[in-house]
Amino acid sequence: MRDQRVLFLNNQGLDRSGGGVTILRHLVRHLARANRVTVCAESRADDAEHDELGV
């Protein structure tokens, strides 16, 4: 998949740890190489200042 728009909706919050956030992190890293990726997540306001996905 290339040159596509991808939207992930995450209701877990990016400040959490665990399988869902880890899978999301890997998907974003992989897909962002050739696509436009947006992540909408339920997180605290403090989390918006940090790049939790490491991208």
pTM here is 0.67
Cα–Cα dist 25/50, whole Å: 14
Question: pLDDT digit string (tens) for 4-48?
Answer: 999 999 887 777 777 788 889 899 999 999 999 999 987 655 555
CA angle, residues 22, 43, 14, in degrees to nearest 5: 10
CA angle, residues 43, 19, 9, in degrees to nearest 5: 45
